[in-house]
Structure 1
Amino acid sequence: MNYESRVDPVDTEDRIILDDEPSADDRREGRKRMWIVLAILVAGALIAALMLSGGEEEVAFAPSEDTTVPAVTVLAPGAGTLQGAINATGTLAARREIPVGAVGEGGRVVSVPVDAGDWVRQGQVLAVIDRSVQSQQESAQAAQIKVAQADAELAQANLDRALQLVERGFISQADIDRLTATRDAAVARVSVARAQLGERRARNAQLNIVAPAAGLVLTRAVEPGQVVGPGAGALFTIARGGEMELLARIGEAELNLVDVGAVGTITPVGGDEQFSCTVWQKSPVVDEQSRQGTARCALSYDPALRPGGFASIELASETVVAPRLPESAILSDDNGSYVYIVDKDNTVVRRPIEVGMISDEGIVVASGLSGKERVVLRAGGFLTEGETVRPVTE
């Protein structure tokens, strides 16, 4: 039997569409490429891990010998040429302070023409004292001179007449001697009266309180109406010439490094202005309690410099060649200052030292170190002499 086969148009179209789907070979090729990419990624990760680990095989942790030995930081400071600079503090004061009080008999103060902060010249009147009674005494003393002078003139006239009569024999030589003595006594009384008048005038001149030298009046402790006398104490204080100074308190070791004539820079507390000064005197004694001495630094007058104020000073001292260490490296006890050094066997050794000047950069070691030693910088207080350490160079 013959059958005709017919092709359905729809089936034909569907078959054409299905022919566009990937074949089994294409799918196998895609999976192969995916596995190749994954293999490359895994290999790259392994290579990166090896590079980060340095290619070394990890070993189990085992404590090394160094973990039982403390590590300390050390430094060989060397020795350098250092310009000496000493920092200190002190009090401002008048270089030559002159207390002025009542010199004469004293009395009631009539007026005070000057005040603190005024400049005065030598001999200028600072306070006027009432002299009404003393003036009357001066007048009386002047009158006594006239009385004594009259008596002396009368005694001289009597002597002259007696000398004329003695030649005629009317007066004896004894009378002449008596009249001569009377004349001499009268002349002497004139001299006494004049001396008393001079004394009275000198006392009156001392009633007023005057400036013994030119300078700046620092203090005034008297007012009009006040009664003053020789025991009243200082009524005025004068800075001669207005000159000032700083009384710098310096440690006895550093005081030896300061020379007379050294130049310093002073900064008063409460301001940024600086002033130049010169050391003109060093204290010959050192305070037993503070172990400090005084360096007196002369200053020119400036309104910003007030006696009694506080100030800091930086003084230039002699140039030294010595090591310098930070403050943390230097220790001290009852035996003095010392440092710990690490010897060639890595053993801690105590080394006594003598400290010098102190600055912001550190403390100068005046003696005890050459600068080549390995000095323990920190934690020296936790070490003991003879201990073995692991030095780490700063």
Structure 2
Amino acid sequence: MVVAPPSRAARALLWPVLCAGLLAACSKPAPAPEPLRSVRTMVVAEGRAGGTHEYAGEVRARVESRLGFRVGGKIVRRAVDLGDSVKAGALLAQLDPQDLRLSQDSARAALGSAQAQHDLAAADFKRYQELLAQGFISAAELERREATLKAARATLEQARAQVAVQGNQAAYASLVADASGVITAVEAEPGQVVAAGAPVVRLAHDGPRDVVFSVPEDQQAWVRSFEGKPGALKVRLWGADDVLPATVREVAAATDASTRTFLVKADIGRAPVKLGLTATAQIERPAADGVIKLPLAAVFESGGRSAVWVLDAQTMKVAAQPVQLAGADGNEVVIAAGLKPGAEVVTAGVHVLSPGQTVRRYLPAQTTAAR
């Protein structure tokens, strides 16, 4: 059976249908509707803020010195190890004293030469005084001998001072403890050549102790307000139940470059605690009524400012509301401005929302099943 080709009129009718099909196949599919997200919310209400702020710290000595030799040289002996207790005047390390002794011998020889020149100048001056009295020389000649004697005397004094300096230099070959304490670090070993002033050991002096901890930037001014007030802080050593009173002694003037926190030193006096122990510093914040608090998860950053999502119960749409924070209270943040009691705020799912997005309240599974 032979099928006749479609007529010209049929082809004219078929062509638009084929084009429409091709265009439909090439066009992009319609975007899927945005899912209706479920969010947790809470109604803002005034509450009570306060409680105890705790900071992890460490027990340190009030004075901790990095000791080094006052002259350069090669270390031939180190007499202490990490953790050793030493008394004032105890030997810590020793340099090779050979070059220093040679310098001391050279200074002594220079002193002997200066002494001889001075004695000769003094004898000449005495003889020329007698010659002047007999009229054999002029006064000018005696004055020259007197000037020579004065120069010899100055050279002698210089030589004596140089001997004293070289004696001190030789004594500096021995590094001794300038106070009683504990060696907390060793920074050089025997055989090492060190420059003058290079740290060799670190000595924590016996005496008052500090608990050192860091506070965030928003709490620096508040902690500084306790400075100099005895017993404003409480310190509890980890693994112990005893609580020690402490006084804020010093708050750093600038933040740490890496942690952006302020270093605080709290004085605990001469409490019998070991260096390096971990401690918890506790500060009581006075309780205040009429404070709005939200979970930390409810706050996000928008345009460089803190904000929360506020839900409109009529339209079920969310809108970003900038807020001002007054600090933290445990796992909650204290809102200083931007919210009023009665507002409904999203507390979970804040990072997947956009302004004007429609949401629904999250209902636990048992509540949905009961309905």
Match of 2:26 in 1: none
**Offset at residue 194 of structure 1 (A):** 0.9
Q: Which amino acid aligns with 1:258?
A: V
Is 1:257 matched up with 2:222?
Answer: yes
**Offset at residue 218 of structure 1 (A):** 0.7
**Offset at residue 164 of structure 1 (A):** 2.2
SS of alignment partner, residue 337 of structure 1:
strand
Is 1:100 matched up with 2:70?
Answer: no
Match of 1:338 in 2: 307
Partners of 1:363 and 1:279 lie apart in 2 by: 25
State the TM-score, normalized to the length of structure 1.
0.63
Partners of 2:96 and 2:53 lie apart in 1 by: 54
Match of 1:199 in 2: 165
Match of 1:352 in 2: 322
Q: Which amino acid aligns with 1:364?
A: V
SS of alignment partner, residue 149 of structure 2:
helix
Partners of 1:201 and 1:170 lie apart in 2 by: 47
Of the three residues 197, 201, 204, the one matched with 1:236 is 201
Partners of 2:362 and 2:166 lie apart in 1 by: 89
**Offset at residue 201 of structure 1 (A):** 1.1
SS of alignment partner, residue 222 of structure 2:
coil
Match of 1:77 in 2: 45
Match of 1:114 in 2: 80
Is 1:363 matched up with 2:333?
Answer: yes
Q: Unpaired runs of 5+ in structure 1?
A: 1-67
Partners of 2:349 and 2:87 lie apart in 1 by: 63
Query: Over alpha carbons, which structure has the higher Rg?
Result: 1
Of the three residues 114, 124, 140, the one matched with 1:158 is 124
Match of 2:136 in 1: 170
Q: How does 1:1-80 map to 2 (within 5 A)?
A: 73-80=41-48
SS of alignment partner, residue 196 of structure 1:
helix
Partners of 2:54 and 2:60 lie apart in 1 by: 19
Aligned length: 316
The answer on whether the counterparts of 2:54 and 2:283 sit within 8 Å (CA) in structure 1 is yes
Match of 2:294 in 1: 325
SS of alignment partner, residue 134 of structure 2:
coil
Q: Sequence identity, in percent?
A: 24
Deviations 1:271-292 (A, max 9, x none): 56676554433343446886x3
Partners of 1:98 and 1:216 lie apart in 2 by: 11
Q: 1:285 to 1:177 in 2, by over 3 A?
A: closer
Partners of 2:330 and 2:55 lie apart in 1 by: 13
Q: 1:143 to 1:376 in 2, by over 3 A?
A: closer
Q: 1:186 to 1:258 in 2, by over 3 A?
A: closer
The answer on whether the counterparts of 2:326 and 2:336 sit within 8 Å (CA) in structure 1 is yes
**Alignment RMSD:** 4.2
Q: 1:72 to 1:239 in 2, by over 3 A?
A: closer
Q: Which moved more, 1:297-306 or 1:152-161?
A: 297-306
Q: 1:202 to 1:335 in 2, by over 3 A?
A: closer
Q: 1:272 to 1:166 in 2, by over 3 A?
A: closer
SS of alignment partner, residue 264 of structure 2:
strand
**Offset at residue 158 of structure 1 (A):** 2.6
Q: How does 1:278-317 map to 2 (within 5 A)?
A: 278-286=247-255, 292-298=260-266, 300=268, 305-306=275-276, 314-317=282-285
Match of 2:33 in 1: none
Match of 1:20 in 2: none
State the TM-score, normalized to the length of structure 2.
0.66
SS of alignment partner, residue 323 of structure 1:
strand
Q: 1:88 to 1:127 in 2, by over 3 A?
A: same
Deviations 1:53-92 (A, max 9, x none): xxxxxxxxxxxxxxx9x89753342132x22544455677
The answer on whether the counterparts of 1:346 and 1:390 sit within 8 Å (CA) in structure 2 is no
**Offset at residue 356 of structure 1 (A):** 3.6
**Offset at residue 230 of structure 1 (A):** 1.8
Q: Unpaired runs of 5+ in structure 2?
A: 1-35, 364-371
**Offset at residue 258 of structure 1 (A):** 2.5
Q: 1:85 to 1:334 in 2, by over 3 A?
A: farther
Match of 1:129 in 2: 95
The answer on whether the counterparts of 2:321 and 2:338 sit within 8 Å (CA) in structure 1 is yes
The answer on whether the counterparts of 2:73 and 2:95 sit within 8 Å (CA) in structure 1 is yes
The answer on whether the counterparts of 1:357 and 1:364 sit within 8 Å (CA) in structure 2 is yes
The answer on whether the counterparts of 2:237 and 2:279 sit within 8 Å (CA) in structure 1 is yes
**Offset at residue 343 of structure 1 (A):** 6.2
Deviations 1:20-73 (A, max 9, x none): xxxxxxxxxxxxxxxxxxxxxxxxxxxxxxxxxxxxxxxxxxxxxxxx9x8975
Partners of 1:233 and 1:119 lie apart in 2 by: 22
